[in-house]
Amino acid sequence: MRAYLQPAIFGATGYSGYELARLLTRHPAAKKPLLLRRNDESGGCNDLSEAYPQLAGNGGFPLETFSWERMKSAGVDVMFFATPHEFSRELVPEAVSQGFRVIDLSGAWRLKHSANREVYGFAAANDACDEAAVYGMPELHADEIWDATLVANPGCYPTSVILALAPWMRAGLVDLDHGIICDSKSGVSGAGKQPTPKTHFVEVDGDFSAYSVFGHRHTGEMLEQLGVDSGSLQFTPHLLPIPRGILSTIYVKLAQPASAAELEQVLREFYAGKPWVRLFGAARLPQIKFSLHTNYCDIGFSLSPDGKRAVLVSCLDNLLKGAAGQAVQNMNLMFGCNEKEGLQ
């Protein structure tokens, strides 16, 4: 396949941004990404390989000062924003108005309901972009992604939860009155590259903790995409003392008793032809290490002896299927590439 797409990345120095640059560099349909920084950024590295020596020997990855003129002269086809949501909220509307297609990895455009957007502290709505943004989960929204101007890449926790629950919920198998419990654990890279008093090594090593109970920003994505209200789903995130990876344990009561074979069939029919969801069924539960450094979301479940309750387990790499890998998957759909391109 001939390289013909010119991507550009804002925020390549973060963990997700680095993974994105790494994936796009080896993508057969993409040219080496243009790496951008804001005018007010000073100091730090001038080449991404200075921050990530893993990239050394690939001809250099210079970080260029952003300008619309540079974007147009380089023939940029798609802009990736691996930036804080405040920055994306500010610059993405202008990028769209300039005619660029955008894939945003922040939470700036994922939510449709204003009440859910309030957790990000957005001062005002942007009706045009808020309405036009497509939630970038290819397994659920491929038909909308292919011609989208703005794709809002899902959060890492919601990807693990939504992909696990969507098939059974759409089939009416889950008793929503009983409620759903989503107990999720993430490696420390999910908190971003900038260390905080709660995420540096001394605090995290040898510990395991819950956080943001009843108030995590990603809860709104789950509610909107699964079509439930806040009283039907409880999401509790936990911080694991590992670099990367997510495991979500999801507890549901079934609307009526079912067999493991029936539940597995629903999952397999729903994800038929979806290359980045691996189904373990009821035979074996996924583990974080199985999906690390891949774009897979692994899903399995266990069923109670009476067939009335089930526990779903969903695992993924938060920096790949939970961020950069899913962003490349979205780019593939937007530009007519195979979903697996550049991700194998």
Cα 243 to Cα 156: distance, rounded to the nearest angstrom: 14
CB atoms within 10 A of CB 86: 14
Q: Judge whether 136 and 152 are in contact, CB under 8 Å.
A: yes
Report helix, strand or coil for 220.
helix
List C-alpha distances in Å: 327 to 11, 183, 207, 284. 14, 25, 31, 29
Tell me the torsion sign for CA atoms 29, 32, 38, 41: positive
DSSP codes, 150-187: EEEPPPHHHHHHHHHHHHHHHTT-B-TTT-EEEEEEE-
Residues labelled as active-site residues: 156
Structure tokens at 249: 């344990």
**Residue among 296, 275, 323 nearest 19 (CA):** 323
Structure tokens at 77: 């086809």
Report helix, strand or coil for 81.
strand
